[in-house]
Amino acid sequence: MPMTVRAVVFDVGGVLTSSPFDAFARYERERGLPDGFLRTVNATDADTNAWARLERREIDLDDFAELFGREAAALGHPVDGRDVLGLLSGDLRPAMVEAVRRCAARLSTALLTNNFVVDPSMERADLVEVYGIVDVVLESSKLGVRKPDPRIYELTCQVLDVEPADVVFLDDLGVNLKPARALGMHTIKVTDPDAALEALAEAVGFPVSG
């Protein structure tokens, strides 16, 4: 039987925008760091490290910079945490924004993002515009819980008033998709945006681009 979709949930970084991992790789090359080093720092003690605590709003940006620097140094390569924060702003993907618009016209929609608090004057106007398209924006920095904690997916379903089996969720990280899939969501990993849009169109049963 075809699945019944009532809601589509989109990640932001790496889905609506280009992946920050491209910027990470450039930074590593420029600084002579091992390939994938920044991701290794982020993945070490993934629920309690500086990155996780920042995204749950347990620490501020200054604390993050200091703690991330210590964590990187402990793995052999000192890195200024402020540099890393500057690598996170990807380019908006117009085709994915169009998919958000088309889904929002027919289904419940949400953005589900791990993020950190920034000064309102630093908010990106292009992203704020996309935020206005969807029914709800769920941010780890406001909720105090982050992906891949199952609670954030449960909360998303509660807010949208849907069952997990009624949801399509797009994210660029397998670690974030795994618990969503375990709850019953249909998941799409966004590595190739065009392929992801094709998978989304198949799941929802109508064109999401073109």
- Amino acid 62: pLDDT: 93
Report the pLDDT value the prediction gives residue 33, as an integer from 0 to 100. 97
State the pLDDT at residue 65: 94
Q: What is the mean pLDDT of residues 1-24?
A: 89
Count CB-CB contacts under 10 A for residue 190: 23
Residues 57-67, mean pLDDT to the nearest whole number: 95
The pLDDT value recorded for residue 1 is 39
* Cα 42–Cα 185–Cα 175 angle in degrees, nearest 5: 15
- Which residues make Cβ contacts (< 8 Å) with residue 83, sequence separation at least 6? 27
Residue 196: pLDDT above 80? yes
The predicted pLDDT at position 122 comes to 66
Has residue 69 got a pLDDT over 70?
yes
Alpha-carbon span 40 to 34, nearest angstrom:
10
The CA-CA-CA angle for residues 17, 19, 20, to 5°, reads 110
Structure-model confidence comparison of residues 51 and 122, the more confident one: 51
Q: What does pTM read for this prediction? A: 0.91
| Average pLDDT for the chain | 94
Segment 62-79 mean pLDDT: 96
Dig out the tokens for 52 from the structure.
């996780």
As a whole number, mean pLDDT of residues 132-155 equals: 97
Task: DSSP letter for 111, please.
Answer: E
Which residues, at least 6 apart from 46, have a Cβ–Cβ distance to it below 8 Å? 52, 175
What pLDDT sits at residue 92?
95
Give yes or no for residue 105 having a pLDDT over 60: yes
Predicted local distance difference test score (pLDDT) of residue 2: 52
Helix (H) or strand (E) holding 155: helix 150-160
Residue type, 69: G
Q: Are 134 and 107 in contact (CB under 8 A)?
A: no
Residue 164 has what pLDDT? 97
Q: Does 118 have pLDDT greater than 90?
A: no
**In the chain, what are the domains?**
7-18+90-204 (3.40.50.1000), 20-85 (1.10.150)
Task: Using alpha carbons, select from 101, 98, 126 the residue that is nearest to residue 210.
Answer: 98
pLDDT at 43 > cutoff 80: yes
Tens digits of per-residue pLDDT, 167-180?
999 999 999 999 99
**CB distance 89 to 83 below 8 Å:** no
Cis ω for the linkage preceding 207 (within 30 of 0): no
